[in-house]
Amino acid sequence: MRVLLLSAYDAGSHRYWRRGLSKMLPDWEWRGLALPPRHFSWRVRGNPLYWALRERERLECRPDLVVATSMVDLATLRGLVPSLAAVPTLLYFHENQFAYPEGSGRHGLLEAQMVSLYGALAADRLAFNSAYNRDSFLRGVDALLARLPDYAPREAVDHLARRSAVLPVPLLPGDDAAAGESCWPPVPAVGARPLRLLWPGRLEYDKGGEGLERILSRLEGSGLDYQLALVGQEFRRLPAVFGRIREQYRHRLVHFGWLQRVADYHRLLEEADMVLGTALHEFQGVAVMEAVARGCVPVLPARLAYPELYPAEFLYDSRPDDPGREADAACERLLDLAAAWRRGDVAGPSVSDYSLEKLAPRYRAILQQLASRSG
């Protein structure tokens, strides 16, 4: 099987997924085109222009199947390179352009939504990394079509739903943790050590920095002895809330920002006790899932994709209309789980269903069925 893999905005999670595809299906021949994750608005609109003119030979390599991320302007690309129109194509959604936090004010969002809608209609099959991702996309398409003044075919939603499947991003094994350097201070010879609390995510507005700040403020008055690692990619404009956390909680912080070596990151996960989430925008949360896979007890909001992935005992009430009450609920759940962890009465849930071994047959079946339509 020869597969052409297109990633138009090749962020870290997209590269992670691409590696998983080749590991799950090593007997297939994978050829790919990827563009760097910057200049978002231009990238999602400009990728077919660049690829059709500069990479035409690779696009016309007559693959058996095309797998493209939802950032690919697939409708335009298939028009500019007509040979692709005859190749069965799966469009994979790591996220969708409709489920963004209110008030984000992201420039060019409507155009990105239309690109993803046309791409979905041009694809033969759609796959989403979670049911939440699929359902919020379909609701978003329906709401968009309802806003249009006329000639808006609402039946497009059912048409897309019939061609949709849920295929989570598989967790990649990390067996190099022992080679990494520890960020956590040495365990004291006498007495109980502090709880090791991990917060993984990009240091951006959509990961809920304000919610994290409120939770930390409450933890300071709780008497909990803890250490904190904030691990995630930093960008040129660091939201002010993360700067405040770095200054106000430096007595708790053992790490802040990016870890260059994968082995160091894996060791950090292995040695952490609990993983805290505050995201406003999350479709699977691979970073949290990696931590849980390595034994961390999760403390997550009951929203987004989390309720379909984790048992209710690890979720705190989501109160977007009352951030103070949400922080209270998060702190209460965290302290209860921390006490249970100290007693040895709680362990993180299993995420084995998201391993390469478990997901490979699902990916193979869907992609093979799609490829069999050609010819």
Check which CATH number belongs to the domain holding 201 and give it. 3.40.50.2000
Please tell me whether residues 10 and 113 are part of one structural domain: yes
Domain tally, the chain: 2
Please tell me whether residues 328 and 363 are part of one structural domain: no
Q: What is the pLDDT of residue 180?
A: 82
Please tell me whether residues 30 and 164 are part of one structural domain: yes
Please tell me whether residues 113 and 229 are part of one structural domain: no
Please tell me whether residues 156 and 231 are part of one structural domain: no
Count of other CB atoms within 10 angstroms of residue 251:
8
Whether 279 has a pLDDT exceeding 70, the answer reads yes
Please tell me whether residues 218 and 105 are part of one structural domain: no
pLDDT digits (tens, 9 = 90+) for 336-353: 999 999 999 999 999 999
Question: Domain range spanning residue 291?
Answer: 177-353
Phi then psi for residue 268, to 5 deg, are -60, -45
Please tell me whether residues 281 and 340 are part of one structural domain: yes
Please tell me whether residues 205 and 303 are part of one structural domain: yes
Please tell me whether residues 140 and 228 are part of one structural domain: no
Average pLDDT estimate for 201-229: 96
Q: What is the pLDDT of residue 104?
A: 56
Please tell me whether residues 113 and 213 are part of one structural domain: no
Q: What is the pLDDT of residue 361?
A: 98
Whether 24 has a pLDDT exceeding 70, the answer reads yes
Please tell me whether residues 108 and 242 are part of one structural domain: no
| Rounded CA separation 253/24 (Å) | 37
pLDDT confidence tier of residue 188, bands split at 50, 70 and 90:
confident
Place of tokens 């047959």: 361
| Rounded CA separation 365/135 (Å) | 22
Whether 103 has a pLDDT exceeding 60, the answer reads no
pLDDT confidence tier of residue 9, bands split at 50, 70 and 90:
very high
pTM: 0.95
pLDDT, averaged across the chain: 94
Please tell me whether residues 119 and 246 are part of one structural domain: no
pLDDT confidence tier of residue 83, bands split at 50, 70 and 90:
very high
* Cβ contact 294:271 at 8 Å: no
| Rounded CA separation 276/262 (Å) | 20
